[in-house]
Amino acid sequence: MTRILPAFRLLGRVLIAVTLLAVPAAAAPFAAYVMDARSGQPIYRQNSDTRLHPASLTKMMTLYMTFSAIERGQVRLDSKFTISSNAANEPPSKLGLRAGQKIELRYLIRAAAIKSANDAATALGEGLAGSEEAFAQQMTQMARALGMNNTQFRNAHGLTTDGHYSTAHDMSVLGRHLFYDFPQYYNLFSRRSADAGIAQVSATNRRFLDDYPGADGIKTGYTRAAGFNLTASAQRGNKRLIATVFGGTSTAQRNQVMAELLDSSFTRVPDRVREVKPQRPRMLVQQTTRRAQVAPTPAATQPEPQRLVLQASPPPSSRPAAASSLVASAPKVDLTEALRIATASAQANLPGVSLASSARPRARPGTEGAAIEAAIATAVAVDAPASASLAAPVLARSNRPTPAPGRGASTAAVEAAVVAAAEAPAAVEPAADGLTLDSSSAPRPRSETVILAAMGEGDISNPEALQIVRRHGDGNRHWAISLGHYGSKSEAERLLLAYALQDGSLFGSASRHVADTKRGFEPRFVNLSEGDAELACERLRSQSQSCSVVTN
């Protein structure tokens, strides 16, 4: 009996294990969407607006944000990003980056687009926005600008997280924008392998690219919760389709479903359709509106004006020693009053003549100072001929006044005049004949009080919140400059990079594009304004470089 019980227990365990293996794992929800890339019109839908886990299809938005940053001049392909410990510790698939390592942006883009490396995607988000959380918010904002209304991002790589979701329709819209908005980078999604700086990486989408004729992208994705996802683009003749599949059960099954969807859709669309390119997203610009803040003061809160008395400051102590001693010894008198008394004293004995002040005559042009002095000396001489003017006796008997100091007069001369005026008699009585000089009253002293009118308290409210202002990303930047035609694409790319590095202020906002034409590979700087394009061409022509201004 004791031997039979262990046997039954073992048999029970085996039956339970077989039963569990026979029950299939719960499959992720399935969704699909197919659109005509030329017009954006839908061709096939199945659960296309159901919010599901996008998995690594998220990296399509990460790359879109990166391309936008390059186009704005925020970063360059040769900019080096420092890898954080958070990025280095991301689970596979990964490139194998180490914390503290510095790597060029071009390699992070290749690793994220081709290998679907999670550490590279996180490094892109942190390098562009400062943190992965901030970058995820920017990704969601960009999704809204693109019309992806059922999409929300929580990270840059797509690993399953609460609140991280998208739809088959939204991912197809994103794929169409990648194709039209950044044609210069779209060929990344059709590469089977690439150099990612520290390793050679292979494409996760190479099976579908190899098996389906005309396929040239875009991105795969897989997590246990999402299933096998794929956003693909393919072209046949004049037709181009973009499709998305969510919830495949395996790579092979997903690729087979995608091929069947594309085959049936190619037969349903016409050869010639009016191409309607998607509108470029509006770039988000933060405009800060600030108000001046004025702290309340007692003067501003009182109903009546406040009178403030300004106290006299002490005299400066930088005068020469001789002048200082001279002023200290002289009695303090009013200069205007002293000059008036001195003048009255000199004219006290003139009988019955009262002089009124007259305007000083204008000097003749070219009259020299010596001639003026001689004329005055002749006029005041005692033996001069008698004048019929009433002022002649006064001029004959009065002392010549001391001339006022000019601009070049020294401080000592001014102070000497003050002392001389102070030593004159304090008061002179008029003569019996009543001859006096009319004198004007001394000017009223300037008030030393300042009246401050009450002002309003001012706006002490908090500054307004940041206001999001949207503008079209294109503006008038529909111009490009062509640098001619070259035999190889690498030669054309090297030429563009050389001029971009040579003059970053001029080409920093431009995008580099190499067009494959019948005449050869044509390097172009695109997305310039007309004025910038003309200026750039003039500089390049001055360096013996052929250049022409064209439209994008």
Is 59 one of the annotated active-site residues of the chain? yes
DSSP secondary structure letters along 117-173: -HHHHHHHHHHHHSSHHHHHHHHHHHHHHHT-TT-B-S-SS----TT-BB-HHHHHH
What DSSP character marks residue 226?
Answer: T
Catalytic residue among 48, 59, 172, 239: 59
Contact, 124 vs 138, CB < 8 A? no
Is 116 one of the annotated active-site residues of the chain? yes
DSSP secondary structure letters along 443-489: PPPPP-EEEEPP------SPPPPPEEEEEESSTT--EEEE---BS-H
3-state secondary structure 228-292: EEEEEEEEECCEEEEEEEEEECCHHHHHHHHHHHHHHHHCCCCCCCCCCCCCCCEEEEEECCCCC
Is 56 one of the annotated active-site residues of the chain? yes
User: What are the phi and psi torsion angles at 190 (to 5°)?
Assistant: -110, 0
Provide the token pair at 333.
């008198």
Which amino acid would we find at residue 414? V
Helix, coil or strand: residue 42: strand
Catalytic residue among 56, 84, 233, 482: 56
Contact, 522 vs 515, CB < 8 A? yes
Query: In angstroms, rounded to a whole number, what is the distance separating the alpha carbons of residues 412 and 326?
Result: 8
For residue 100, which of 77, 130, 69, 123 has the smallest C-alpha distance? 123
3-state secondary structure 409-455: CCHHHHHHHHHHHHCCCCCCCCCCCCCCCCCCCCCCCCCCEEEECCC
What DSSP character marks residue 89?
Answer: T
Q: CB-hemisphere CA count at 13 Å for 453?
A: 2
Contact, 101 vs 108, CB < 8 A? no
Catalytic residue among 48, 68, 84, 116: 116
For residue 521, which of 489, 493, 499 has the smallest C-alpha distance? 489
Contact, 306 vs 298, CB < 8 A? yes
Longest Cα–Cα distance of the chain, Å, equals 168
Beta bridge partners of 549: 481
The residues assigned a catalytic role are 56, 59, 116
